[in-house]
Structure 1
């Protein structure tokens, strides 16, 4: 099944799509769609890939992802189900000039920044629960609550998730190749990953694959692999388990503690121990 591009299922004349996912794992294949996506995590945690960047998500997080921005949510294995409420809409769903009206000036600049994907701070979960509750009852009140949600997002502090702005859809051929590679790395980051193997998966020579990945992700393939490994290490460090630094390094795909510490500090700016301390401090 090709997940590039992905089509959001919707009913006829449905301009605001509200989707509630309560499942063991979210849709964990790299994909993109024309609809802007706003998602709030009610429960669950895992890795989030947006564009060319690896992040983490957990309970209470809110993300807004622009049109055609490649992304995936990978849930951490847990006996408990993950729960996410998402709102999808096309930028021109209400007319090409709707968001240019003077009454919409509070949203100025919002949609442009969403092309990078953003994490939004301090969003009240009640806004999403309200939208989900009325999604099938009253379109007018759904629209009003949707506008309230957009205005709230526009006024909140935001953090960019991607280093690269995405506005154009990736072709099916390119998307399929990237999806295969991303899927392989996300599931096998703790193993030895060779350039020869991933290049063969993409049906390219190693040199051609390196150019292909760098041009589309704005970073080298092995930089991406290291970021996935460090993101997993961050999860383990914050999960309050009894793993030693050496065990966390091994479980994250690093073959030595020294290399783990070096790569971790290069990406996070802190050593693993200082990272934990910085998170735990009030």
Structure 2
């Protein structure tokens, strides 16, 4: 959907009319590179032509029926192929709060998916998958919906913003149904959730010495922080903080009983920079001070 800028990050002010949080267009994609990102959600539908889409450093072919969700600050581009029928793409661009003001601090499609309107329909683990391919009747119905959105947006009849909001919600629910109609939604959700938890646990075990933020973990798992916290707690019965602490204290116990490192050095080795805080957390988990533990268990 971008114009002639390379790796530019677009904001709402580049597209939204004054006082609005939504933008609809129908565009012929160019053949030259125009990689870009944006600070809004884009749901694109390929209505005709042949070309490719680059997102997250990966390139794949697209054609009629491809429905693609692009989140905040994800570098991507659609490109037509010289000598082939050009790609024509509908774009629905919006800020999450356009759907509901309570989403004002949300920044990706998964946040919307977990919103109270949709959480019973669409597990968040699948919200971040960037490409949903539909064909036949589904393609026709989706294109008809985009045409109605474009007509409302272009002509601005009375109440058009409310109609656009309703159509955008209809589009999102249509995406949910496309997943559900595949008959594999539950299996994919369970498998994906398990993989996310295992990946997160492996990352924490390998990087426990570092200052790990929830924001960073949410970025590498492609889930919103609140949702990642919830499914991690459900799987491990521990919060992120509790899990990291258990890894660090376990390693500290090992070093106290098998090495001659000072307590201060051990605290630094397992990720603590405040010796008093380390002592407090150690006693909370083990029931005694690090020195007392060493005296009792030093081999």
TM-score by length of 1: 0.49
Structure having greater relative contact order (Cα 8 Å, sep ≥ 6) = 1
Higher helix content, 1 or 2 = 2
TM-score by length of 2: 0.47
